[in-house]
Amino acid sequence: MSANERLLGTLIVIGGPTASGKTSAAVALAQHFKTEVVSADARQFYHALRIGAALPSADELQQVPHHFIGNLAITGSMSAGAYERVSVPVIEELLSKYGSAVLVGGSGLYLDAVVNGLDPMPLGDNRIRTELQDRFRKHGLDPLLERLSQLDPAIIERIDTHNPHRVIRALEVCLASGRPFSAQRIGHAKKRPWHTVRIAMQLPRAELYARIDARFDAMIEAGLVEEARGLLAHRELNALQTVGYKELFAHFDGALTLAEAIAMAKQHTRNFAKRQMTWMRRNDDWNWIAPTDIAAMIAVVDRDSAGASDL
């Protein structure tokens, strides 16, 4: 961006592990700065995953306009690259209108797609992909994950390792190119017409894990089992290769009792949260703040935005 180009405003990025309070913080900040929320949660794109993806409540959606919430059918798809293409114009419009916008989500690759842009997708190999898909059908995901962790340990911390589509894609690129998938997605950040302030939800691990367990119990109480049963016919779709639904599908198959499925889903969610935290701590730009300390978040945004306007 040249010296003659003016920034449109401030993009407030709210990140953090699952169940850490991102949605409530995003709503509070959007209300304070009189703007709107843009979701970067790869599961919340799907309308059918209302309970299992923890979509914002009707009250939260009424308080502040949200974008990219429940906008896809279960048969649809939204890659990080596609999300970059559709979300950036929306954010620019919000910044032009309000001077700020709130981007929120736990999907690190989607946040990166907006803030930094993605490199062109590395080329794959159809033959390798077919072989990997056949191996997955015969032997499950664990052997593929073990191989990927050998070839590209960095990418294990960035993708949903319970999602066969993403594991197979990363492994395909590693094998086809002879280079780690993660190394091929790191380039020069795109210049965006905004100033970015990153805020991460900071919670003691024990408290986070307790919130994860309590939220899953609340999902079960709200009807998650029935929601998953209604999606059983679509279980092979990429949207459903995710924690919560997969364990319940195993229960429907008779492989797990309901209690075992719930316990396993909680454990897998805690594992996922740990990977999210590891990924975020690689970037020193995050301001780690308790999810209920909205005043501190506002102060950080005001301070950093004022500093950016002086540049």
State the number of CA atoms in the 13 A half-sphere of 258 facing the CB: 8
Distance, in Å, from the CA atom of 37 to the CA atom of 247, rounded to the nearest integer, reads 31
Token readout for 213 is 């367990």
Tokens 């975020």 locate to: 280
CA 197 to chain CA centroid, nearest Å: 18
pLDDT at 307: 66
Distance, in Å, from the CA atom of 110 to the CA atom of 60, rounded to the nearest integer, reads 22
pLDDT at 214: 98
CA 159 to chain CA centroid, nearest Å: 9
pLDDT at 177: 83
Mean pLDDT for back-to-back runs of 10 residues, the chain (311 residues): 71 97 98 98 95 96 97 92 95 98 92 87 79 91 92 82 85 88 69 96 97 98 98 93 95 98 97 89 93 98 80 53
Q: Please, where in the chain does CATH 1.10.20.140 lie?
A: 126-185
> Counting Cβ atoms within 10 Å, is residue 287 exposed (0-12), middle (13-18) or buried (19+)?
middle
Query: What are the Cα distances from residue 139, in Å, to 18, 133, 135, 170, 176?
Result: 29, 10, 6, 18, 21
pLDDT at 5: 63
Distance, in Å, from the CA atom of 182 to the CA atom of 193, rounded to the nearest integer, reads 26
pLDDT at 27: 98
Kindly report, residue by residue over 106-142, the tens digit of the pLDDT: 888 899 999 999 876 666 788 999 999 999 989 988 9
Side by side, the strands of the sheet bearing 37-39 are 66-67, 37-39, 100-104, 10-15, 195-201, 286-289
Distance, in Å, from the CA atom of 101 to the CA atom of 35, rounded to the nearest integer, reads 6
pLDDT at 187: 55
Distance, in Å, from the CA atom of 172 to the CA atom of 124, rounded to the nearest integer, reads 6
Distance, in Å, from the CA atom of 306 to the CA atom of 195, rounded to the nearest integer, reads 10
Q: Please, where in the chain does CATH 3.40.50.300 lie?
A: 10-119+187-309
At how many degrees (to 10) do helices 126-139 and 164-177 cross?
140
Kindly report, residue by residue over 75-107, the tens digit of the pLDDT: 998 988 899 999 999 999 999 999 999 999 988
Q: What superfamily in CATH does domain 10-119+187-309 come from?
A: P-loop containing nucleotide triphosphate hydrolases (3.40.50.300)
Residue pair 20/208 in contact (Cβ under 8 Å)? The answer is yes
Domain 126-185: assigned CATH number = 1.10.20.140
